[in-house]
Amino acid sequence: MQLAEKTVLVSGGASGLGAATTEMVAASGGNAVILDVNDAAGTALASRLGDRVRFVHADVTSDAGMQRGIEASLAAFGAIHGAVCAAGIAVAERVLGKDGPQPLAHFARTIHINLLGTFNLIRLAVAAMAENGPNEAGERGVVVATASVSAYEGQIGQAAYAASKGGIVGMTLPLAREFARIGVRVMTIAPGTFDTPLMAGLPETARHSLAQQVPFPPRLGRPAEYASLVRHIFENEMLNGEVIRLDGAIRMTPK
């Protein structure tokens, strides 16, 4: 699927990997709808990129909020052809800490935002894609979810985060198999250590240490590199039901 004249929803599209994806879609001649809770960043990015980009305040964990995002996208551009799920949180907390067991609500919040939020967008976006007419290849839409290398090598303190990302990995193939009948492909990207706002809060020494753990290139990933892979997934019809690690060959240590 070529992105020109197509409409793509991007959750978490106001910053980091999502913002890079929003910019890539607009630069490719497509329409991008930023679904985010950061009003200031979302509005500013949409204003900078022009009429092909809209911002909708939407919480991925809200049924009604995501539905409003779908309706606003259809009203603005007439159809939805893609969804990139880039919203999420990364919280590190040991299960058995100095103050006792990790509160159940902390684990549930990470699962709710990362895993249920991803599923929430996918289910509603694909329902809209099913109404599209197929292209020459019979394709109606493309979904790209975002997992993490932590789904495979979760570190100490990442039980909730790794579980949430592992859930995304686990549902990729079943979703691809189910949506094949309507011509919607489903792929997941598992990034390694990327230079995103989550990383920006770390001390420079910590950022440098993380960068040096990447075999090659020995640096943090760039959001534009994630967005470039998203574009390739849209354009390559044979990519379906798989998880692609985008990590410079890093394998995370226990801590």
**66-113 residue pLDDT tens:** 999 999 999 999 999 999 999 999 989 999 999 999 999 999 999 999
The pLDDT assigned to 201 comes to 64
The pLDDT assigned to 82 comes to 98
Positions marked catalytic:
161
Separation between Cα atoms, residue 54 and residue 72, nearest integer Å: 9
* pLDDT-flagged residues of the chain (< 50): none
The DSSP secondary structure of 164-206, one letter per residue, reads: HHHHHHHHHHHHHHHHGGGTEEEEEEEE-SB-SHHHHTS-HHH
CATH number of 7-192+226-244: 3.40.50.720
> Please, which residues bridge with residue 100 across strands?
97
Give the other-Cβ count within 10 Å of 65's Cβ. Answer: 16
Block residue for tokens 């943090």: 220
Separation between Cα atoms, residue 19 and residue 124, nearest integer Å: 21
Strands 82-85 and 141-146: parallel
Q: Where are the domains of the chain?
A: 7-192+226-244
Return the closest-CA partner of residue 8 out of 52, 65, 63.
Answer: 52
The pLDDT assigned to 200 comes to 74
Separation between Cα atoms, residue 186 and residue 242, nearest integer Å: 8
| Helices 117-129 + 63-77 axis angle, to 10 | 40
First and final C-alpha spacing in the chain: 40
The pLDDT assigned to 193 comes to 93
Can you give the C-alpha Rg of the chain in angstroms? 18
E strands, 12-94, in order? 31-36, 53-57, 82-85
The pLDDT assigned to 221 comes to 96
* Largest distance between two CA atoms of the chain: 59
